[in-house]
Amino acid sequence: MSKGFRQSQSTLHTWSGLLLGWLLFAIFVAGTSAYWREALNRWSRPELARIESTDRVVRGAVDFLSRKAPDAQSWFITVPTTQSAGADLFWVPAAKPGEERRGRRSRRDNSAFVGSDGQVGTARETRGGEFFYRFHFDLHYMPVIWARWIVSIAAMFMLVAILTGIVTHKKIFRDFFTLRRGKGQRSWLDGHNATAVLALPFHLMITYTGLVTLIAMLMPWAIVANYSDGAKLYATVFPQAPVAERADRPAPLTDLIPVLHDAERRVGGTIGHITVFNPGDAAARITLTRAGKSMLSARTPSIAYDGVTGRMLWQAPPPGGAVETQGVMVGLHAGRFGDYPMRWLYFLCGIAGSLMVASGLVLWTVKRRERLPDPARPHFGFRVVERLNVGFVAGFPIAMTVYLWANRLLPFGLARRADQEINAMFAGWAVVFLYALARRPARAWVELLALQAALLLLLPLYNLVALPTGLFATVARGDWVLAGADLTLLALGAGFGFAAWRVHRFRPKARRRPARMVQPAANWAPAE
């Protein structure tokens, strides 16, 4: 603090951005890609046709469940859109009298997927864009609760870095309109400022609302003080219609399609999920939940119907102020409420945020290299940071692209195929990381950025040659979900190629050494 408030904030900005900056970069990139997770889900299953009729898919799902699990406790159906790959089904088997449940039932034993034709699909097993969405707050290979605490701490660091950055850069808005090229540290700072200011409201919103999504874990004291029973809290935040006990009297399930359309009319938006309790029984109940993309708040209301007569029985009451506020915060963070223009705005702002974090990490090394006694021989700590920058900033996008390539190249019927795609991603990242540690950073940057460009550009070409859903075919059919995915991959590949070319051409200016002070010899003579 002896250096002044702004200087102290500069120090806090630097270290809060660096210490968890590598993890923040991975979270930002994965979260940015998740804004197109529905498109990635479809892209990851190219053998599936585009959905033309949602009703056909829902009807096919009910027919399948009626044959597969007629006596189940409940069915769960996701209602697809024309951008979706299909409908996911899940059912809870009825417990048999005297049966003891041994261990945890695998989800694969009671789940299925229905395609656009209303039939159970034989699509490849994959997690598609859902993996990137879950990774950006659950990470992988570790308990979820640990991952969420780690991500929350990283988000707190991010919020501190943004706020202190605003304080530190007193000319940040003026500098946004200044981009000096080929000026070393000054150029990196200009780029960092531009990407920060360009989407500053988004950066603040996405970081703060990200913390709000986990507020019950981070700050549980208000909940503990007001709710002694977790069930009461759940009933307040997620009100559900009462479910009747099974009557053990067979009765046919009503047609779900009229119920679906009536529910959409009553709730004022499209339906995202259907749950059927006690199917095939006189006490059957149908609960339908509004889709998150049809409203700003993520706390979507539900409506319940009699499963035999189709008569409406219950509708969720309006949420309280606290629940609505938290739901809006979560909805703003997820960005599901918007159509394509809003998705593109979120996506481009997410790219700006990723570049902001990446340029900040690189700026740390650029700024300190000029202060080193011998920039050609930096100390060990500097070399570690420099190689971590390469391993994360260049390596993580490569790992994500390896995941997409694994989706295309792994055998169709491979056991645990979805897990193998994820394993391929992290194995590829490990190889790239080892390469970044062993290679001189100046060369590693160029080579890895060029590799990423090649991997991205070749993916649409592979689709064009090996699949019936290549770019030309999807454009001809007007299937802009798949065509847009391939075009975005091409644009990103061109961007990484340009970055590799610029880094290759960069030549740091020779360091100026101060002239040595030489005492003039005139008027000096030894004493006689």
| Cβ atoms within 10 Å, residue 68 | 14
How do residues 404-424 score in pLDDT, each as one tens digit?
A: 999 999 998 899 999 999 999
**pLDDT above 80: residue 2:** no
Identify whether residues 495 and 378 lie together within a single domain.
Answer: yes
Residue 336 lies in a domain: no
Give the sheet arrangement for strand 74-78, strand by strand: 111-114, 87-92, 74-78, 271-277, 285-290, 302-306, 312-315
Q: Which residue has the tokens 């190219």?
A: 46
Per-residue pLDDT, averaged over 320-331, amounts to 91
Identify whether residues 260 and 114 lie together within a single domain.
Answer: yes
pLDDT at residue 105, rounded to an integer: 46
Answer with the one of 249, 282, 316 that is the final residue of a domain.
Answer: 316
* 513 — pLDDT class (breaks 50, 70, 90): low
Provide CB contacts within 8 A for 64, sequence distance 6+: 89, 112, 114, 119, 120
- Residue-averaged pLDDT of the chain: 87
Provide CB contacts within 8 A for 520, sequence distance 6+: none
Identify whether residues 248 and 379 lie together within a single domain.
Answer: no
| Domains identified in the chain, total number | 2
pLDDT at residue 101, rounded to an integer: 46
**pLDDT above 50: residue 293:** yes
- 16-25, 93-102, 467-476: lowest mean pLDDT where? 93-102
pLDDT at residue 509, rounded to an integer: 61
**pLDDT above 50: residue 491:** yes
**pLDDT above 50: residue 21:** yes
Helix, strand, or coil here: 111?
strand
**pLDDT above 60: residue 499:** yes
Q: Which residue has the tokens 């990484």?
A: 496
Residue 408 lies in a domain: yes
pLDDT at residue 528, rounded to an integer: 33
Answer with the one of 316, 331, 351 that is the final residue of a domain.
Answer: 316
Identify whether residues 390 and 459 lie together within a single domain.
Answer: yes
Q: How far is CA 199 from the centre of its chain?
A: 18
Per-residue pLDDT, averaged over 63-68, amounts to 94
Residue 273 lies in a domain: yes
Identify whether residues 111 and 250 lie together within a single domain.
Answer: yes
Identify whether residues 306 and 396 lie together within a single domain.
Answer: no
Residue 135 lies in a domain: no
Given a contact cutoff of 8 angstroms between Cβ atoms, the answer to whether 87 and 79 are in contact is yes
* 524 — pLDDT class (breaks 50, 70, 90): very low
**pLDDT above 50: residue 256:** yes
How do residues 121-143 score in pLDDT, each as one tens digit?
A: 778 899 999 999 999 999 999 99
* 239 — pLDDT class (breaks 50, 70, 90): confident
- 159-173, 313-327, 423-437: lowest mean pLDDT where? 159-173
Answer with the one of 285, 316, 347 that is the final residue of a domain.
Answer: 316
Identify whether residues 312 and 380 lie together within a single domain.
Answer: no
pTM of the complete model beyond 0.85: yes
For residue 275, the enclosing domain spans 51-94+107-125+240-316
Residue 486 lies in a domain: yes
Residue 526 lies in a domain: no
**pLDDT above 50: residue 103:** no
Per-residue pLDDT, averaged over 251-274, amounts to 95
Identify whether residues 380 and 498 lie together within a single domain.
Answer: yes
Identify whether residues 119 and 249 lie together within a single domain.
Answer: yes
pLDDT at residue 99, rounded to an integer: 53
How do residues 412-459 score in pLDDT, each as one tens digit?
A: 889 999 999 999 999 999 999 999 999 999 999 999 999 999 999 999
pLDDT at residue 169, rounded to an integer: 74
Provide CB contacts within 8 A for 304, sequence distance 6+: 241, 285, 286, 287, 288, 312, 313, 314, 315
360-373 burial: b if 16+ Cβ within 10 Å, else e:
bbbbbbbebbeeee
**pLDDT above 90: residue 168:** no
pLDDT at residue 3, rounded to an integer: 62
**pLDDT above 50: residue 525:** no
Identify whether residues 121 and 252 lie together within a single domain.
Answer: yes
Residue 245 lies in a domain: yes
Q: DSSP string of 304-317?
A: EEETTT--EEEEPP
**pLDDT above 80: residue 88:** yes
Identify whether residues 121 and 246 lie together within a single domain.
Answer: yes
Identify whether residues 113 and 262 lie together within a single domain.
Answer: yes
Q: DSSP string of 478-527?
A: T-HHHHHHHHHHHHHHHHHHHHHHHHHH--PPPPPPPPPP----TT----
Per-residue pLDDT, averaged over 257-263, amounts to 96
pLDDT at residue 275, rounded to an integer: 96
Residue 73 lies in a domain: yes
Helix, strand, or coil here: 276?
strand
